[in-house]
Amino acid sequence: MKPFPSRFLLLPAALLLYCTNLSHGAEPAVLSDSLSKQTILFAHRDTCDLRMDIYRTETAQTEQTAQPVMLFVFGGAFMKGERDKPYYIPYFRELAAQGITAVSIDYRLGLKDRKISVFKTKPADTAIRMAVEDLFSATDYLIRHAAALNIDTSCIMLSGSSAGAVTVLHADYTLCNRLPLSEMLPQDFRYKGVLSFAGAIFSHEGRPRYRATPAPTLFMHGDKDKVVPYNKIQLFSKGLFGSKSLARRFRKAGYPYAFFTMQGQTHDVALTGMYHPDEITWFVRRYVFEHHRWQMNAELDELDRLPREAYTKPYATDANK
């Protein structure tokens, strides 16, 4: 018998590498620079309670105009991570300054304390499904409490880092294809935009196909990423499809997207992607608020870009946890 070709192990090996590298109604607490944080319990699970942190300017909740929302899902290979890590706060501050309510959520870590095998991808499947379910629960909570929170449910966007980016891409994919979890949300509900910082879609059916047009999507990915593939890793019909592969699919199908390749960068883009406020603001304004259906590919040299002053200000990290 011929030996099993080593390239056929690339997909499960990639999944293994990815998975090994990575109070209800509380009063808002002021962090700094007029940024407030409110922590809310949004779901009970058998193993844990799930909370969300709502970040906005101090005056946002009392303004007459409801604010758009950016839901954020943290990274950590579905094994670890926290919704309020200090390095996420500048991203939330920037969103709040733009008049967008930032909501950072908990989700169950489906691969925590799990043994991962290169021959088994079912645990990763389950972890993604659990994360999407929790994201939908958070979305449902926002929809049901929109008036009290002063948010615009017609403009809820998603963003995520690494495993969080995988989650938000899968969430929009689930809605577009009316997969079972989509029943958790109103039938006519759609996210208005998706921001993926080093994300991918895990598919058992070859390249992901959408039955309905996906939300305008911003892809940011390092072309040297060895954790979440920049392009794709595929074994027969099963594959992990990264930003380059997904952008190609969007372009061919005529879906709106912006794809920023971070030249020479690795999986650090899962974090540093959020340190590009100009590109993020441009995408949200043009694609989400102004409804442009552009298709764009661009390259950025991270060595020529430094975080803006807004990303280096001091902030409180222990308020209202």
Q: What distance in Å separates the CA atoms of residue 219 and residue 93, rounded to the nearest whole number? A: 21
Q: What distance in Å separates the CA atoms of residue 306 and residue 300, rounded to the nearest whole number? A: 12
Q: In this structure, which amino acid lies at residue 236?
A: F
Give the whole-number percent of the chain exceeding pLDDT 70. Answer: 81
pLDDT of residue 3: 37
Is pTM beyond 0.95? Reply is: no
User: What's the mean pLDDT in 132-147?
Assistant: 97
Q: Which CATH code of 3.60.10.10, 3.40.50.1820, 3.30.479.30, 3.90.120.10 fits the domain covering 6-107+115-311?
A: 3.40.50.1820
Chain centroid, CA 6 distance in Å? 32
pLDDT tens digits, one per residue of 7-40? 334 444 454 444 444 433 444 554 555 789 999 9
Q: In what order do the strands lie in the sheet with 257-263?
A: 29-30, 35-44, 49-57, 101-105, 67-73, 151-161, 193-197, 217-222, 257-263, 295-301
Q: Which of 15-24, 112-121, 243-252 has the highest mean pLDDT?
A: 243-252
- Looking only at the bridges linking them, the beta strands covering 295-301 and 232-235 are unpaired
Chain centroid, CA 252 distance in Å? 23
- Nearby residues of 207 by Cβ (< 8 Å), 6 or more positions away: 239, 241, 245, 249
Six-digit token pair at 194? 């998706």
The answer to whether the beta carbons of residues 208 and 241 sit under 8 Å apart is yes
pLDDT of residue 178: 95
CA-to-CA dists, residue 179 to 7, 82, 174, 247, angstroms: 31, 28, 5, 22
Higher pLDDT: 123 or 215? It is 215
Domain boundaries, the chain: 6-107+115-311
Angle at 276 (CA atoms; ends 319, 287), nearest 5 degrees: 105
User: What's the mean pLDDT in 148-157?
Assistant: 96
Task: Quickly list DSSP for 134-191.
Answer: HHHHHHHHHHHTHHHHTEEEEEEEEEEETHHHHHHHHHHHHHHTT-GGGGGS-TT---
pLDDT of residue 32: 52
pLDDT of residue 302: 53
pLDDT tens digits, one per residue of 32-83? 557 899 999 999 998 889 999 999 998 776 777 899 999 999 999 998 999 9
CA dihedral 80, 261, 300, 89 (to 10 degrees): -20
Q: What distance in Å separates the CA atoms of residue 76 and residue 107, rounded to the nearest whole number? A: 11
Q: What values do phi and psi take at 213, rounded to 5? A: -65, 125
- The answer, yes or no, to whether residue 246 has pLDDT greater than 70, is yes
pLDDT of residue 24: 38
- The structure tokens 């997909």 sit at 11
Q: What distance in Å separates the CA atoms of residue 116 and residue 159, rounded to the nearest whole number? A: 27
The answer to whether the beta carbons of residues 241 and 205 sit under 8 Å apart is no
238 exposure class (CB count in 10 Å sphere: 0-12, 13-18, 19+)? middle
Give the whole-number percent of the chain exceeding pLDDT 90. Answer: 68
